[in-house]
Structure 1
Amino acid sequence: MTNLSLTYSFWWIFFCIIIGGVYAWIQYTKKAPWSNQLNYGLAGLRWLLVSLLCFLLLEPYLNTIQNQIQKPLFIIAVDNSTSTVLSSSKLKSEVKLALTQIEAKLTSQGYDVSVVGLEGNTIGKIDSLKFNRNTTDLSSQLNSIKRNYDNFNVGGMVLFTDGIFNQGYSPLAISTQYPIYPIGIGDTSKIKDLAVVKVVHNATVFEGNSLMLEIHSLNTGFKNVFTELKIRSGGKLLSNKKVVFNPNQLLDKTIISIPITGSGKQSLTIELIPIKGEFTTLNNVQAIYFDVIDAQKKILILASSPHPDIKAIKTSIEKSEYYSVELAYKLPKILDYDLIIAHQYPSTKTSNQDKKEFINSAVAKWMIIGGSNDVRFLQANLPFTISGSGFNKFDLVKPIVNAGFDNFKMSDGFLSWASDLPPITTPYGLNYNDPLAKVFLNQQIGSVTTEKPLLFFTKNNETNLGVLLGTNSWKWKLDEYQLNQSHQYYDELISKTVQYLSADQRKKRFYVAPQKAVYEKGEDVLFNTQEYNALFEQITGNKVELELKGENGYIEKFSYVPLSPNSVFKISSL
């Protein structure tokens, strides 16, 4: 049905007619050179035209109403996982037959019928339904149906399932505006089975350490049986332990320690050897994945004498499990370290041999300069300059963060904390002349902000070198605790400095890895991408070329640009 409607009231049409008539009367009442009959005709046309134009100003429009009858929709949700038809070879055909009969009956009652699988996809023909899903997530299936059929007139849903789900959460927690009629599938008889149900382990382990496994094995239906629990890595047997289920014992917890070698991502296969009479052996095997981290970085604090700075720095570093810290007041014979923190070392009391070995070693260094340092040695081997009376005088300086420093990032509150710290002691007239130095903290003397560096980073013989031109930084740690009852920002300053200097510049700073170690057939594969700067802080925005290789020479290429640290690249075509 179509109706003419106006934006304004229909009474305005009479004013349009009046306006048109008045306009025509004014235009054609004067004596014209043509005949009266023609004049009346022209006046009528002008009246009609002006009235029409005024009518269009009322914004007329045609309002069309169409009535469409939509049949109510009935949804048949099918759990097409492998476990559904596992108990019988005939069950698959029986389920398909039941689905066909229900679809036909609903259609005869005037319903449109939609058959939906576990992935939330519509199945065109029931005969094409395949029970090949290795996981069951009923909650995801029902939520997908709710989204996809939100604007449909749904009369109800029939849910075919065996009630077993191993992903997601309970479907009982999902509410719908239409009734759900569940139909159970499977075998109700009691089964006998052994299964590895859970393996508790750490996600990371240091190279050379052992990985502790807590393996939970479930016994269903068997009484007084035993089997073997085997742990393999790449086919190599690492452990073999007997597991005994006493009468009425359902769960066994076995704790095994596995020595770990190598580094990177590794996997172990835990297998409970099947016994005669088991319902299925698919759940007897479980694989776990973990990361093996290179051995802890070794940090040496080398000092000329005891000082409060040493404990403050040492306790901050030791809060991280990735570092092991040693303290020495004499240069060790073997410098097997990732970083040496030299506190006022070398001093005038240090032997010349130790001085040479220290400065020429290929170990990264963080030198904290104070009054005990050997100033002549510093000038001879590093671009230090001393003006005035050398180390005989000292300045009290406050740190000022250099806004142009971008080698690593600090947390949001660090700048505020650093702007109000007590002064530390720095040798008067000491400068470091290196145009390539990256200055993190400058010196503020009194109320004057200078360009003199306080904490900076550079290279010495291709080795990372950090220099703090001052001592008594322990005051910063104490001051923070007095104000905030924490050492958060002092610890951050120390840890970022140590991390930056001890970082292996040859280490990979670009990683691409799937979110899960194992994907089921047909499941979307999700990749996380991580790219890092020199301090191994994450950055984004660079193009990634991804190449996947498989068996029989299979190669497929993809490209994408991660725009956020948590961006995910999805591949659905595998």
Structure 2
Amino acid sequence: MQTETLLYIILAGIIALLLSFFHYFNKKKSMSRLNMLFAFLRFITVFSVLLLIVNPSFNKVTLFTEKPNLILAVDNSSSIKHLNQKDKALDFIESISQNKDLKSKFNLELYTFGESLSTSDYIDFSENQTNIYKAFTQLNKIYKQTTSPTLLLTDGNQTYGNDYQFVDNRYSQPIFPIILGDTTKYVDLKIQQLNVNKYAYLKNKFPVEAILVYSGDDSVNSNLIVTKGNLPVYSENLNFSKTNSSKILNFNLPANSVGIGQYKITLNPLEQEKNKINNVQNFAVEVINQKTKIAFVSDILHPDLGVLKKSIESNEQRAVSFVGLNDIIDKINDFQLIILYQPNNKFKLLVEALNAQKKNQFIIIGPKTDLDFLNEAYPFFNHQITNQTEDYQAELNRNYGPFLIQDLDFESFPPLLSNYGAVQFSIPFETILNKTFKGVSVGEPLLATFEINSWRQAVLFGENIWQWRAQSFINEKSFKPFDDFIGKLIQYLATNQQKSRLNIEYDSFYKDNNNVIVKAEFFDKNYVFDARESLEIIVVENKSNETKTFPLILKNNYYQVDLSSLPPATYNFVVRAKNDNLSKSGSFQILEYNVEQQFLNADVTKLQKIATNSQGKSYFIDNWQNLIEDLLDDKRFVPIQKSVKKTIPLLDWKYLLAIIALSLGLEWFIRKYNGLI
């Protein structure tokens, strides 16, 4: 308590004492016992009221004991079942969960992981992907400030994600791997990795890269065969030995017919092999008739040019060519889309030709753009000329209609350098991204599209979009989300199809271990996104004609359904709006491939390494009994006594009000009883 507050309390006591004596001890009143009682009660009342006015604060310290956490992270992937470790894993979980000594010392928390971390205690070892690194990243967010030794029950075989053996740099808790799986080395011949382009072009050849690995001491022979249907299209004899244990094969296959071609690559297994599943992989290639050709025209050099080319050509169905101003006019019809980067007066003949032929265009405007020329060349919009620039960030318009857009957290992207000034459109347009300045929308489009009788154009009002691709990689650890965003914009601009009220988005084929996602969007008759519609998808398996119906779930500004439960096969489907007579159909294939079945042993080396690096210890599932004793004896994991200090003002002490009421009540009652009132 502060000295100033203490002085106020003393002063309040003196004032209360003086007032009570002044009222009951004067010339007319004697110092009788009754008056002394009245004076005491009055002192209590006045002093209590003055204390409420001063309102001193008191510190309350509460002591409590905090037990450390014991995290049990269980690998719920199907590789555990494939390695015949399911029963051992469940017995271990049961033993740890029911151990009274561990419960007394730790707060036991159970998590499962596959593709991501889950708090569910339902363990069926059925997940098709394993990402151990991501599981630790998510655990770190929960237990960063606590003492939480972590038991990792896994075979150590990760199918995707960052290498988890270096996770100790981000996860500060001791890790105790319990290793599931056989450590005996078996003779094995497998297809380690298969790299194939998703698309090929008719009458061309597409490359295939196969990485083959042999584990064993003796020299062996095998044969690699690639078949399409029942017909072999490629084969090669191979020799392996202890010193020649891996091969990288590169070969080309012909693309003779349009559509999806399904292939099987088989590495003939050895007789003594234990796991023959990893000797076979399926893959598919979609053969298309032609590439979408896009011309890039610019009078300046800028990093945006290279980045946009990379993003557009990330889809192999598209090819970007940089064409000079003197050459492009004679080649306009060779391209489906022309991108004009910061046009100036030199673009006059080109723009006149493009507008005359109603050629689709993507116009990127920046500080080096000649706005006088632009306003004259394009009567559809007018950009105010101020000769000033400003940095504007982006904000996604979730009601954008022409195609589906995923929010890439645009608000976190660096600003684009744009010309300062209002933009006025003389025709209807749709905004993809709005300009914001210091987090406030300025009511101007940053990226917009418009359409006149199937003639499509887009305008980006800013340069330095190359920084967006870099930021997207920082956010997502991949360029793919940003490239997909640019790809959808290019796909919209490079086609001249009429706008549809029902649009669907899906892949031609999926691997069995990947999520099978179909997205859709539905618009009302004014082409405004309609979130009230009920969409369903009717899926028919080609061979058996078995039909299944699934509802599409509304998610942000689109509908979505996850069909990952479907077995590998070829499917036709129809997406239908229940309340409107609209539907869209398509087809896709699910290729049989389970990455979790490619493993033969536990990855002991990595699990032992993360145990050592994190100051933990590894155990094999058959010898885990010492784990409990080690955890109980480890002096790092002891309960910690903590204190919580709370500052409580006197106003919160309700008993003081009761004292005031009681003292006033007693004073009145006694005076009334003695006839003094």
Structure 2 contact 151–176 (Cα < 8 Å) conserved: yes
Q: Give the Cα separation in 2 of the matches to 1:57 and 1:285.
A: 84
Aligned partner of 1:279 among 249, 271, 274: 274
Which residue is equivalent to 2:129?
Answer: 135
Instruction: Flag structure 2 segments of 5+ consecutive residues without an equivalent.
Output: 299-304, 339-349, 386-449, 458-489, 540-545, 566-677
Structure 2 contact 454–497 (Cα < 8 Å) conserved: no
SS in 1 for 2:54: coil
Aligned partner of 2:152 among 139, 159, 165: 159
Which residue is equivalent to 2:45?
Answer: 49
The 1:7–1:178 alpha-carbon spacing in structure 2 relative to 1, beyond 3 Å, is farther
Residue identity matched to 2:128: N
TM-score for the superposition, normalised by structure 1: 0.54
1:92 aligns with 2:86: yes
Which residue is equivalent to 2:177?
Answer: 182
1:322 aligns with 2:319: yes
Cα deviation, residue 47, structure 1: 4.1
Q: Give the Cα separation in 2 of the matches to 1:299 and 1:463.
A: 18
Cα deviation, residue 270, structure 1: 3.7
1:244 aligns with 2:238: yes
Which residue is equivalent to 1:258?
Answer: 253
Deviates more, 1:63-72 or 1:46-55: 63-72
Q: Deviations over 1:336-392 (max 9, x none)?
A: 98699xxxxxxxxxxxxxxxxxxxxxxxx97549xxxxxxxx9xxx9xxxxxxxxxx
Residue identity matched to 1:419: D
Q: Give the Cα separation in 1 of the matches to 2:248 and 2:335.
A: 41
Cα deviation, residue 558, structure 1: 0.8
Which residue is equivalent to 1:390?
Answer: none
Which residue is equivalent to 1:18?
Answer: 14
Residue identity matched to 2:112: G
Bigger Rg, which one: 1
Q: Deviations over 1:180-231 (max 9, x none)?
A: 2333332222222232222223354445543221122223337322233224
1:214 aligns with 2:201: no
Report which structure shows greater RCO (CA 8 Å, sep ≥6): 2
The 1:270–1:134 alpha-carbon spacing in structure 2 relative to 1, beyond 3 Å, is same
Residue identity matched to 2:497: Q
Which residue is equivalent to 2:554?
Answer: 559
Instruction: Flag structure 1 segments of 5+ consecutive residues without an equivalent.
Output: 301-308, 310-315, 341-364, 370-377, 383-406, 425-430, 444-458, 467-497, 533-538
Which residue is equivalent to 1:504?
Answer: 496
User: Where do residues 227-376 of structure 1 align in structure 2 (5 Å cutoff)?
Assistant: 227-232=223-228, 235=229, 237=231, 239-248=233-242, 249-260=244-255, 266=260, 268-275=262-269, 276-288=271-283, 295-296=290-291, 322=319, 367-368=352-353
The 1:31–1:272 alpha-carbon spacing in structure 2 relative to 1, beyond 3 Å, is farther
The 1:95–1:418 alpha-carbon spacing in structure 2 relative to 1, beyond 3 Å, is closer
The 1:437–1:42 alpha-carbon spacing in structure 2 relative to 1, beyond 3 Å, is same
SS in 2 for 1:78: strand
Which residue is equivalent to 1:147?
Answer: 141
Q: Give the Cα separation in 2 of the matches to 1:338 and 1:409.
A: 11
Cα deviation, residue 285, structure 1: 3.5
Q: Give the Cα separation in 2 of the matches to 1:261 and 1:510.
A: 30
The 1:558–1:129 alpha-carbon spacing in structure 2 relative to 1, beyond 3 Å, is closer
User: Where do residues 416-427 of structure 1 align in structure 2 (5 Å cutoff)?
Assistant: 416-419=367-370
Aligned partner of 2:195 among 195, 200, 205: 200
Cα deviation, residue 167, structure 1: 1.9
Q: Deviations over 1:448-507 (max 9, x none)?
A: xxxxxxxxxxx9x968599xxxxxxxxxxxxxxxxxxxxxxxxxxxxxxx9998642348
Residue identity matched to 2:51: F
Cα deviation, residue 295, structure 1: 1.8
Residue identity matched to 1:438: F
Cα deviation, residue 19, structure 1: 2.7
Cα deviation, residue 6, structure 1: 8.9
Cα deviation, residue 55, structure 1: 0.7
Structure 1 contact 227–273 (Cα < 8 Å) conserved: yes
Cα deviation, residue 241, structure 1: 1.8
Q: Deviations over 1:515-536 (max 9, x none)?
A: 993464xx8777778999xxxx
Q: Give the Cα separation in 1 of the matches to 2:492 and 2:557.
A: 25
Residue identity matched to 1:19: I
Q: Give the Cα separation in 2 of the matches to 1:12 and 1:519.
A: 77
Aligned partner of 1:116 among 82, 87, 111: 111
The 1:573–1:236 alpha-carbon spacing in structure 2 relative to 1, beyond 3 Å, is closer
Cα deviation, residue 545, structure 1: 6.8
SS in 1 for 2:552: strand
Q: Give the Cα separation in 2 of the matches to 1:322 and 1:83.
A: 41
Which residue is equivalent to 2:586?
Answer: none
Higher share in helix: 2
- Over the residues paired in the alignment, what is the CA RMSD in angstroms? 6.1
The 1:47–1:108 alpha-carbon spacing in structure 2 relative to 1, beyond 3 Å, is closer
Residue identity matched to 1:226: S
Q: Give the Cα separation in 2 of the matches to 1:515 and 1:15.
A: 86
Cα deviation, residue 273, structure 1: 4.7
The 1:283–1:43 alpha-carbon spacing in structure 2 relative to 1, beyond 3 Å, is same
Cα deviation, residue 262, structure 1: 7.1
Percent identity for Structure 1 against Structure 2: 20
Structure 1 contact 114–123 (Cα < 8 Å) conserved: no
The 1:15–1:549 alpha-carbon spacing in structure 2 relative to 1, beyond 3 Å, is farther
TM-score for the superposition, normalised by structure 2: 0.47
User: How many equivalent residue pairs?
Assistant: 426
The 1:98–1:26 alpha-carbon spacing in structure 2 relative to 1, beyond 3 Å, is closer
The 1:17–1:136 alpha-carbon spacing in structure 2 relative to 1, beyond 3 Å, is same
The 1:410–1:72 alpha-carbon spacing in structure 2 relative to 1, beyond 3 Å, is same
1:169 aligns with 2:165: no
Aligned partner of 1:79 among 71, 75, 78: 75
